[in-house]
């Protein structure tokens, strides 16, 4: 009688400095655009789970904000998500760029060095470097985290990502199915809408504007053929409201059009999207506002 295949499951948390490719990697591992990924640092604000289920495994990935020294209350909340990721993982994926030397938050890195959880260091962006620099980087990180396995990858070019997936499954413990097999994420439809709109703001506006924005979907009504969505975009100052809206509303219209196209692909339905821009002064620094926004 053939031996029954054991079911493996566990929590795999992705951590690393801002803008090293964590979100791009998660989307690739999931084979689904689940989290927003842009070239700008601090794109990810929340801890977002991606649930990948196969015949004999379930991997619960967790994308986290970039590791940094917090400058204001929102960043303090973001770093709390990162610290949680060290505590509840079965496996940690620590993403660094080839050539990166210094962790952005020394206190956090010291905790990583002491963790008993298995760590894989992913040397990302190998498509932009030389063999010599790659070898130097491998040696550098081996000195800092001698117990960790090191795997060079390119999330952008999809190099070694399948190998990484098989290594993850190999390292997972035997366990139950934590989520229904057709569930992709722990986040709600409204959260997905908010993140897609926020991505378009990150891509379309410069300087401080994207970081001063919070997005909250107030209405999500799903019909058989169409979803009606009404979403509020919050900024910190009146001048920022004017920039978001743009001349004759052109900037906001562009954001709405791009977001609607992505939402229609994700939900596979027609989308009716209305956007409103409101001012909530200095929301990033106020604990009460942050709680209301789900941080």
Q: Which residues contact 152 (CB under 8 A, 6 or more apart)?
A: 98, 122, 123, 126, 134, 138, 159, 160
What is the pLDDT at residue 4? 63
What is the pLDDT at residue 1? 46
Is the Cβ–Cβ distance between 201 and 209 less than 8 Å? Answer: yes
Print pLDDT tens along the chain (295 aa).
455 678 999 999 988 887 788 888 988 898 877 665 656 555 666 668 889 999 999 999 988 777 777 777 877 877 787 777 777 899 999 999 888 887 777 888 888 899 999 999 999 999 988 999 999 999 999 999 999 999 999 988 889 999 999 999 999 999 999 999 888 888 888 988 998 999 899 889 988 888 889 999 999 999 989 999 999 999 999 999 999 999 999 999 999 999 999 999 988 999 999 999 999 999 988 888 888 887 7
What is the pLDDT at residue 32? 74
Count the neighbouring beta carbons within 10 Å of the beta carbon of residue 58: 22
Rounded alpha-carbon distances, angstroms, from residue 206 to 10, 17, 70, 212, 243:
39, 21, 21, 11, 10
**Rounded to an integer, what distance in angstroms lies between the CA atom of residue 51 and that of residue 165?**
13
pTM, two decimal places: 0.76
Is the Cβ–Cβ distance between 169 and 10 less than 8 Å? Answer: no
Structure token pair of residue 144: 């800092």
What is the pLDDT at residue 188? 85
Question: Could you tell me how far CA 84 lies from the centroid of its own chain?
Answer: 15
What is the pLDDT at residue 289? 83
Angle at alpha carbon of residue 17, lines to 201 and 93, rounded to 5°: 110
Closest CA to 211 of 172, 243, 170: 243
Order of strands, sheet of 48-53, starting from the edge strand that comes earlier in the sequence: 48-53, 57-63, 8-16, 91-97, 119-124, 149-152
Sign of the dihedral defined by the CA atoms of residues 275, 278, 282, 288, in that order:
negative
Is the Cβ–Cβ distance between 89 and 13 less than 8 Å? Answer: yes
């Amino acid at each position: 009688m053939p031996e029954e295949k054991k079911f493996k499951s566990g929590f795999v948390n992705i951590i690393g400095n801002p803008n090293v490719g964590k979100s791009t990697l998660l989307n690739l591992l999931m084979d689904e655009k689940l989290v927003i990924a842009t070239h700008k640092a601090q794109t990810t604000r929340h801890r977002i789970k991606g649930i990948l289920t196969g015949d004999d495994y379930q991997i619960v990935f967790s994308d986290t904000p970039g590791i940094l020294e917090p400058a204001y209350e929102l960043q303090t909340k973001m770093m709390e998500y990162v610290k949680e990721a060290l505590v509840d993982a079965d496996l940690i994926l620590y993403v660094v760029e080839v050539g990166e030397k210094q962790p952005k938050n020394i206190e956090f890195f010291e905790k990583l060095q002491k963790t008993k959880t298995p760590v894989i260091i992913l040397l990302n962006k190998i498509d932009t470097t030389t063999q010599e620099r790659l070898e130097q980087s491998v040696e550098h990180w081996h000195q800092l985290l001698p117990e960790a396995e090191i795997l060079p990858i390119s999330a952008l070019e999809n190099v070694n990502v399948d190998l990484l997936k098989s290594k993850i499954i190999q390292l997972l413990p035997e366990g139950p199915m934590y989520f229904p097999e057709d569930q992709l994420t722990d986040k709600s439809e409204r959260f997905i809408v908010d993140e897609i709109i926020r991505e378009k703001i990150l891509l379309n506006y410069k300087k401080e504007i994207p970081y001063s924005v919070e997005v909250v979907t107030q209405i999500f009504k799903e019909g058989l053929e169409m979803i009606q969505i009404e979403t509020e975009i919050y900024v910190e100052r009146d001048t920022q409201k004017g920039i978001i809206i743009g001349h004759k509303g052109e900037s906001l219209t562009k954001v709405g059009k791009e977001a609607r196209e992505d939402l229609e692909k994700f939900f596979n339905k027609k989308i009716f999207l209305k956007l409103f821009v409101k001012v909530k002064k200095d929301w990033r620094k106020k604990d009460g506002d942050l709680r209301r926004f789900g941080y």
